[in-house]
A and B are shown apart, each in its own frame.
Chain A
Amino acid sequence: MAEISSSAAGPAPGRLTTADGIPLKTALAAAEARARRRALLLVLPLLLFILVTFVAPIGQMLHRSVYNPSFPQNMPATVAWIRDAPVGTAPDEAAFEALAADLRAADENKTAGVVGTRVNYEYPGSRSMFTKAARAADKITPPFRAAFEDLDSDWTDPELWQAMRATASAYTANFYLAALDRTRDVAGHVVQVEEDRQVYVKLFVRTLALSLLITVLTFFLAYPIAHLLATLPLRHSNLLMIFVLLPFWTSLLVRTTAWIVLLQSQGVVNNTLVASGLVADEARIQMIYNQTGTVVAMTHILLPFMVLPLYSVMRPINPSYVRAARSLGATSWTAFRRIYFPQTIPGIGAGALLVFILAVGYYITPALVGGSDGQLISNLIAFHMTKSLNWSMAAALAAILLAGVLVLYWLYDRLIGIDNLKLG
């Protein structure tokens, strides 16, 4: 009887409670909350550090790739006219009046250069037009259209006005269009830029192709080395490991320069070939300052990133797996293909992903040994950051690169599974 009454007083079946009658889930959450809070406190410094030094700058750069306020901030009257006029409207007297007013203000505030630079991204050669017109703004009198035409006949070019329209709003996708060798024509349609100005897509393709080539090369070089490392007795494998890691501990600059010494036309390799009579003196092979140089040097530099993940998956593979396969009737090739190789796939995936992502963003080595046709997209991003100061363009290129890498990462997760990634 006592048993029945106690179960009747208890909660509905399926809802477990503690001895005090608190629901079990609540009690569990309360018990674990303390541990969770303490764990959070431990990672908080790192979290803040990453937010401040990593997430925030990247977010800001990504924002910059779609946001450039220099034109609308400094040319309010012109922007107002552009907003009222539909796309394709030829600039009328009112438009030039507004332009003249804005340029007068720009001359006083010394912002004509900023505005000119912004329009110049879309319409090359326009920066000097803006600075010249701003200097002469006081002398521009009605009729404005004729006055501007006197200064420079390009002021009435519909393409210039399309360019100003494109820059009139602070938020724009034009940098992305430009990064993909696209632009807007007078009517506002997206079109390809002229052939001699198409550089970015070609460079993206080259970057991906070279990175893929380097990944494949490092795989074929690293697989046997990693296998040797994993199967040699510890005494020998430690020595070999030091040889593999030696490049890791050497400065990137030293390693790259060493390749210049080896591969240049008066370098060690060419001199040896000429001395041995394999190559004529006047036909020295050009192995550096081109794509070959980039591929050779980067393959060497990125090799450890392939060897180490492979080694870390190969080391724990018990040799008895292959022995078992052999005893079950498999030839050594079948045993490798069916038993050994599949167990190394997580390492191959990790190594390939690591090498590929590093190669896609590589900068110093191609800059030093790439010559003109061995440059990668990161060299162009650096150019826009430091030389042309078109940060929005640099940000757009970097964002496309980032998106590409994330797509690859997603693909990897779908095909192999990210939890299979083994880095060490």
Chain B
Amino acid sequence: MAVETGDAAFVVFDQVQKSYDGETLVVKDLNLAIGKGEFLTMLGPSGSGKTTCLMMLAGFETATHGEILLDGRPINNIPPHRRGIGMVFQSYALFPHMTVGENLSFPLEVRGLERTLRETKVKRALEMVQMGAFAGRRPAQLSGGQQQRIALARALVFEPDLVLMDEPLGALDKQLREHMQYEIKHLHENLGITVVYVTHDQSEALTMSDRVAVFNDGVIQQLASPQDLYERPENSFVAQFIGENNKLPAKILSRVGNDVTVELPDGSTGRANAVSCGGVGSATLLSIRPERIVVDPMDDTNATDATVRELIYLGDHIRCRLSVHGSEDFIVKVPNSSRKHLLTVGQRTRVGWAAEDARALGTQ
């Protein structure tokens, strides 16, 4: 099925397939429309085909089948240097034999800009990433975070409409990574560029993106806003990949609209919210977020006995591993509030959750 190429679509993948060896497909029938000015993240485990998609868009890989459109033009036969797409690489790829200034000036030189204009643009780009004083340095003299900023400035200095980023923050430490996430997000907002971002870090994807495309096995599993992705995962892979998630196998007993009654392995019944499960009698997987589970619930819906197996103190919350409905890996996040429940290992307690927080997904 072809994508509806609306007016807003700036980048379009139309039935794109990619194979390296002619035997297996790395990207299977990809259909994706990215709007102008959008921040879209391709998220997935390694080998899921997300980087291949980015490389096809940049022009370093050719699509085996299908068409990629940029601003309405098919770009399959346009070489990378004529696509006018900025790109930030995982390794930054700053030219080691040039200074920072020369690195930034390079894309302007090959475009034949005159010297004074080049200097102004380089200066402006460096100031944009707060690196104005570093034009004379070599990349090797900069820290990882500084190199990252320069790589960003170089991808933006020739004012492309589309910027691709291939796990650009992968090599930074956690604190710097979080800081750079906000900076990239702000740059995107201020410049109004379209960004296609590839990462395997789900928190990065949730922080920065307008929409996230979750890749697995060469297929987009779900394409949604960060909030939808977290709150309403459409299948068990997405539920598992985005955030933490408790899984309980169950059987559907009855269904009214989206309300289903399920039977759990130990014979008890509960209520859940149908998302992608089958009809009455079919097996399903209940997905419940750890932070949505209440210890000592007020009402009796989905309330069940539990035994505390392990407690991990994490500062802002306490992570409890419980034995619930025969599952030994049932995780509950208890907020570290003043009225905290003083659980102890081995203690028997009760836990419960709201029917809409238990999402009945198909088994696959």
Assuming the A-B contacts A320-B89, A334-B110, are A326 and B80 also in contact, with contact meaning beta carbons closer than 8 angstroms in the complex? Answer: yes
Within 8 A of B (CB), among A301-345: 318, 320-321, 323-332, 334-335, 338-339, 342-343
Chain B interface residue count, CB cutoff 8 Å, equals: 27
Determine the residue in chain A with the shortest Cβ distance to B166: A320
Minimum Cβ distance to chain B for residue A61 (Å): 42
* B84 contacts A329, C-beta separation under 8 Å: yes
Report which of B60, B91, B96, B106 forms a contact with A328, defined as CB distance below 8 A: B106
Contact status of A327 and B106, CB under 8 A, knowing A321-B95, A343-B96:
no
Given A327-B58, A330-B106 in contact, is the A339-B85 Cβ separation under 8 Å?
A: no
Q: How far is the CA of A327 from the CA of B151 in the complex (A)?
A: 12
CB of A320 within 8 A of CB of B93, answer: yes
Chain A residues with Cβ under 8 A from B185's Cβ? Answer: none
B86 at interface by CB-CB < 8 Å: yes
Once the chains bind, are B93 and A324 in contact (CB under 8 Å)?
yes
Q: Which of chain A's residues have a CB closer than 8 A to the CB of B97?
A: 342-343
Contact bitstring B178-214, A, C-beta under 8 A = 1, else 0? 0000000000000000000000000000000000000
Residue from A320, A324, A328, A332 with most neighbouring chain B CB atoms (10 Å): A328
A328 to B59, CA, bound (A): 12
Chain A interface: which size bin? 10 to 19
Tell me whether B249 is interfacial, beta carbon within 8 Å.
Answer: no
Known: A323-B60, A324-B87, A334-B110. A329 touches B93 (CB 8 A): no
Check: B115 CB closer than 8 A to any chain A CB.
no
> B232: CB under 8 A from chain A?
no
- Please judge, given known A-B contacts A325-B106, A339-B95, A342-B97, whether A330 and B89 are in contact too, CB under 8 Å: no
Assembly CA distance A343 to B97 (angstroms): 7
How far apart sit A329 and B85, CA to CA, in the bound complex (Å)?
Answer: 9
Contacts of A320 in B (CB 8 A): 89-91, 93
In Å, the complex CA distance between A323 and B79 comes to 11
When chains A and B are docked, how far (Å) is the Cα of A317 from the Cα of B84? Answer: 24
Interface check B247, CB cutoff 8 A: no
| Complex CA–CA separation, A325 to B110 (angstroms) | 10
Report the separation of the CA atoms of residues A330 and B81 in the bound assembly, to the nearest whole angstrom.
6
Tell whether, in the assembled complex, residue A329 and residue B81 are in contact, meaning their CB atoms are under 8 Å apart: yes
Chain B residues whose CB sits within 8 angstroms of the CB of A339 once the complex forms: 95
18 of the cross-chain contacts (CB-CB < 8 Å) are: A318-B91, A320-B89, A323-B58, A324-B93, A325-B95, A325-B106, A326-B59, A327-B59, A327-B85, A327-B87, A327-B155, A328-B86, A328-B158, A329-B107, A330-B107, A331-B110, A338-B106, A343-B96
- Show the binding face of B for A, using Cβ within 8 Å: 58-60, 79-87, 89-91, 93, 95-97, 106-107, 110-111, 154-155, 158, 164
